[in-house]
Homo-oligomer: A and B are copies of this chain.
Amino acid sequence: MARPDRPAPSAGFFEVLLNQRACRQFDGRPVDDDVLERCLEAAIHAPSAENKQPWVFVVVRDAATRHQIAELTRAAWRDGARSLSEGRLTPELLDDVERGIEIGLESAPVIVVVCGDRSIGHEVVLPSSVFPATQNLLLAANAVGLGSALTTLATLRGTELADLLDLPATARPMAVVPLGWPARQLGPPRRLPLAERVHVDRYGNPWGGSA
């Protein structure tokens, strides 16, 4: 099922981590449950505070529900997020993000909504549990050749999203992850050098600076 241009299921660990990219356009091929299950198993093996596993994953295949999630995302984008991003992104990246929101999200055959449940874990530690699990989901997707992206825009419409998915009042949507086979090959990720973000012992003493 994996595309030849993507890491195979047995791909080396670092190869998968160092080649994760946000995918915003998917082709039409379906994603089988067994492939999804491998990704979800990886997700729930993330660490969590007190090992409470305070995450809730809603795997949305239903086309009408996916459409409504995409609508909520577009509404959040048009109602404010876009204008915030305009001054911050290059025109090229802004276009890419916008195409992803306007068209791409809905083109994914599966959308996973990742929530934190404060009836399971303490509210303040939900992010430190839910986002590692989300990252495992994305990494596993990359390992099996699926495209994915970590998006949070639709969570700005959290109440509507919760209603749509019949979430209990204790569960809060925190991420929306489209999953599908990528429509095109993605290049390597672009990152700043370590010394721009890593300091030794104290802030201002860059990694490698004294080596």
Contact = CB atoms under 8 A, between A and B. Distances in A.
- Number of copies of chain A assembled together: 2
A186 interface: no
Interface string A1-35: 00000010111111011101010000000000100
Given A44-B192, A45-B189, A56-B197, 12 more contacts: A10-B13, A13-B16, A13-B143, A17-B140, A46-B135, A50-B88, A51-B189, A52-B88, A57-B199, A58-B201, A127-B128, A131-B135
Interface of A: 7, 9-14, 16-18, 20, 22, 33, 37-38, 40-42, 44-47, 49-53, 55-62, 65, 84-85, 88-89, 93, 97, 122, 125, 127-128, 130-132, 134-136, 138-140, 143, 149-150, 152, 165-168, 171, 174-175, 189-192, 194, 197-204, 207, 211
Contacts of A55: 197
A contact patch SS = mixed
A115 B202 CA distance: 12
Nearest to A134: B132
B128 A14 contact: no
Contact of A14 (B33, B52, B61, B143): B143
A127 to B, nearest CB: 4
Given A12-B10, A85-B50, A131-B128, A44 B203 contact: no
Contacts of A132: 131-132, 134-135, 138, 150
A94 B70 CA distance: 43
Nearest to A130: B131
Contacts of A14: 9, 38, 42, 140, 143
